[in-house]
């Protein structure tokens, strides 16, 4: 079946603008993860959902970051009042068992 999809693939935002990034996991995958990857570094964990429950949000860097998965499928990561340091690739991953995670193509965010 289809893999994890993310949209938009690229987003340019002006500093202070709000952005919303969407993730559509693999069908039937109950676990969904968001990661942030800065250039030249490994992905860093942001938050984790099991169905609609957000079980871990310890990686969200500030209260400007908010994620939701209201129906246990599609998830949205929202960043309010974007800053230049938010520029990164935002990766979504899903898993059927919470262990083996499959990544989407990512959203490349550039904040000017």
Partner 1 sequence: QKEVEQNSGPLSVPEGAIASLNCTYSDRGSQSFFWYRQYSGKSPELIMFIYSNGDKEDGRFTAQLNKASQYVSLLIRDSQPSDSATYLCAVNIGAAGNKLTFGGGTRVLVKP
3-state secondary structure of 84: helix
Which of 105, 110, 111, 112 binds partner 1 (CB under 8 A)? It is 105
Residue 25 or 43: which CB sits closer to partner 1?
43
Q: How far is the CB of 43 from partner 1 (least distance, A)?
A: 5
H or E element that contains 89 = strand 88-95
For partner 1, the binding residues (CB under 8 A) are: 31, 33, 35, 40-45, 48, 55-56, 58-59, 89, 91, 95, 98-106
């Amino acid at each position: 079946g289809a893999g994890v999809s993310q949209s938009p693939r690229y987003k340019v935002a002006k500093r202070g603008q709000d952005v919303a990034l969407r993730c559509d996991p693999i069908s039937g995958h109950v676990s969904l993860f968001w990661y942030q990857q800065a250039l030249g570094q490994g992905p860093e964990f942001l938050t984790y959902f099991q169905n609609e429950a957000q079980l871990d949000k310890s990686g969200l860097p500030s209260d400007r970051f908010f994620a939701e998965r209201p129906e246990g499928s599609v998830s949205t990561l929202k960043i309010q009042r974007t800053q230049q340091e938010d520029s990164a690739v935002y990766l979504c991953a899903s898993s059927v068992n919470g262990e083996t995670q499959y990544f989407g193509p990512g959203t490349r965010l550039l904040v000017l």
